[in-house]
Structure formats: C-alpha cells, structure tokens
Amino acid sequence: MMAKKLTGVEARAHELDTIAAVLPMERRDELAELLTDQDIDTLRHLVNEGMGENTLRALTSDLAYLQAWSLAATTKSLPWPAPEALLLKFVAHHLWDPAKRENDPEHGMPSAVEQKLRSQGFLKVAGPHAPDTVRRRLATWSTLTKWRGLSGAFPSPALKSAIRLAVRATPRPRKRKSAKAVTGDVLARMLATCASGSLRDLRDRAILMVAFASGGRRRSEIAGLRREQLTVEPPIAVEDGPPLPSLAIHLGRTKTSGADHDEVVYLTGRPVEALNAWMDAARIDKGSVFRKVDRWGNVSKRVLDPKSVNDIVKQRAALAGLDPEEFSAHGLRSGYLTEAANRGIPLPEAMEQSRHRSVQQASSYYNNATRRSGRAARLL
C-alpha cells in the first residue's frame, strides 16, 4: 500500500514533531501553517547544534509572532532580508503613545491587524508592547537573517532613532521578574506548608530548598534536573554536630556558560536531606528528578514543566498567607543573593554558587539589601 504523500503544511507539522522532544510546542498545527519550510530547517539545524532549550523556545515563539504579524499587516510572509520600511512599521505598530491614540485611532497598530493577532492568540497586551519585548523580537529577526547568510537594515540609524523616540513616548516603570525576593524568612514560611509528608509536599519542599540553596537556580534547570547530574560528595565536618551530607549538581551548559563548560554547584545539609527524602519516597533512581504527582499521589514518568515550578512557588506562597502575585520562581534566584547580602557573604563567594556572570546584575541585589538597612537610609 502506497504511503500518503504529505502536503506542505502536513510535512512541516511532521518535522515539528521530530524536534518536539527538545522543543515542546502545544500549537504545532498553527506553527506549521505560519512557519515556512526554511524556518523549520533552521529550527532543526539549531536543535542539532545543541542550542539551549529555553533559547529555542523563545526564538520559535518570536519567529511565530513575527510571521503572524507580517501576514496580518502586509498579507505576506516575512521577507528575507526585511527592508527598513518594514522594520519601522513593526516599531510603529508596537511602540506607540496611548495619549495620542485616544485622539488618533490610526496611531499605533491598526485595529484590523490587532484583531487578527488577538483572534490567533498572539496579541494579549492591551496597550503598547514593552520596549524589551520589541527589542528582543527585532534581535531574533536580525539573528535569523544572519543565519540565512543575509544582512538586513537592523543597524540602520533610522531604526535605532525610531526605537529611542518611541520608548520616550511610552515610558513605563521597569519591573523585576519577581516583585519580591524569596528571602530566608519567606522561604521558611513556604517550607512550613510542606509538612504533611505527602509525596507532593516532599517534592515541593525539595524543589524550594534545592532551587534556593544551589544559588537560585532557574526554573528550567530545576525542572530539567536529572539523577545523572547528581554526584555524592564527602560529608562536610562541622564543630557542633554530625557531618553534613554534600552533593554536587553538574549543570552542564547553562544560559551564561560556554558550550563545553560544565557548571557545578553544591548542596550541603538540609537541602540534600530534602532531595534524598523525595527521591527515596518517589523511588527515583534515574532520569528526571522532579516529576508530576497526580491527585491520587501517583508519580508520573513525565518531567516537570518549567512553568510548574513557577506555579509551585505561587501555590506555596498562597498557602503561607502571602500574596502569590508578588512571588515567582525567579524570586528564589534574587532571594538567594539578597539573603547572601543580608548575611554578609562576600559577593564573589555568592556568585560562585549562583553562577552569575555579570557583577553588575548580581551586585544590584546586594546594593538593594545594604541600601535599605544602611546608614544612608536612616539619617532621620
């Protein structure tokens, strides 16, 4: 029996399936409609080259949005390379002045384009986009252009000027990824909600403690943690008690490390005990460390989604009587550095554990902690 010949869209959907293990995509069919054959080839190439999963997800999301916007705004797929006029149109559609929009309905993104993107689920914001989002999507557009061996108008002075002027016209306060840091006292309140001994409580306790104590690991690193990355280290001797268990986490390639560099962080004491308690109870001796637990207490073989780590932080915050809107998984990362500053741990030592590469970024948490309690803030 002859195999059915796949259409262009079906073939692209099949190709997306082949990389779904590395690049999960819930909107496969829609992406197959939007993306071109060359787009799919580019994604497959990046998967084979070992590009980080988070980077691939962000790139695919940006590419899909750009294609959807181009079809809605020009009725044509993205041109390669993009002319300067199209880049300027993209900026004008996404960075605009809300006050001027009230008197001029044509200012900003045209209503027909907006309705099309909203109906497809691509446009969710009510006003102009965040400047960082626009810059990131333009950067993705530029990168994809270079990967095709082309040069676009992205360095254009006119484009840079348009972005600068548009940002001035749409000022907005810069927000942290987590409104509040999960410092030691906040973490203690969250951990107190994990005291029942159930599998879900054991898992969440281990997630919170490991993510925080390992330097504020990113949610993708926690969700993707595997048993094979863990190495038992010799116990740490202490003066006033029994030796503390120690564990090394081999992170491999991270967001800020080189392709061939194996990042390693260490856990000591209670976090190791919490992690071992979860793995023993869930009988995890290989593969993914943190997994889904259903309502009946059954442990799935499926890896925990990075979004689930964020949901767990918010759920535990709510159970602790805190506002879940004020906390996120990134709060564990900022909280680690803030707590280190509060306890007088030198910045270089804290950065060895957090694996921050930017002293400026890491020191901002230190500066905030010391400024708030320092003499300069207590002159009266």
The model's pLDDT over 93-112, given as tens digits with 9 standing for 90+, comes to 998 888 888 888 888 899 99
Nearest in space to 252 (alpha carbons), one of 267, 265, 266, 268: 265
- 354 in Cβ contact with 215 (< 8 Å): yes
Look at 130-139, 264-273, 370-379 and tell me which has the smallest mean pLDDT.
370-379
Residue 163 has a pLDDT of 86
**pLDDT (average), residues 109-126:** 89
The pLDDT assigned to 374 comes to 54
Share of the chain above pLDDT 90, in %: 34
- State mean pLDDT over 245-264: 70
pLDDT tens-place string over residues 316-360:
999 999 999 899 998 898 888 888 877 877 777 777 777 766 666
Q: What pLDDT shows up at residue 346? A: 73
- For the chain, the average pLDDT equals 81
**Cα angle for residues 279, 289, 249 (degrees, 5° grid):** 100
- Tell me the mean pLDDT in the region 262-277: 91
Q: Is the pTM of this model over 0.75?
A: no
pLDDT of residue 342: 79
Mean pLDDT calculated for residue range 201-223: 92
The 10s digit of each residue's pLDDT in 181-211 is: 898 899 999 999 999 989 999 999 999 999 9
* Record: fold of 184-375: hpI Integrase; Chain A (1.10.443)
8 A C-beta contact, residue 45 and residue 8: no
**Tens of pLDDT, residues 286-321:** 999 999 998 888 998 888 888 899 999 999 999 999
Q: With 70 as the cut, is the pLDDT of residue 173 above it?
A: no
| pLDDT for residue 28 | 59
Domain ranges of the chain: 8-169, 184-375
Name the residue with higher pLDDT: 76 or 13.
76
Once rounded to an integer, what is the mean pLDDT over residues 136-153? 87
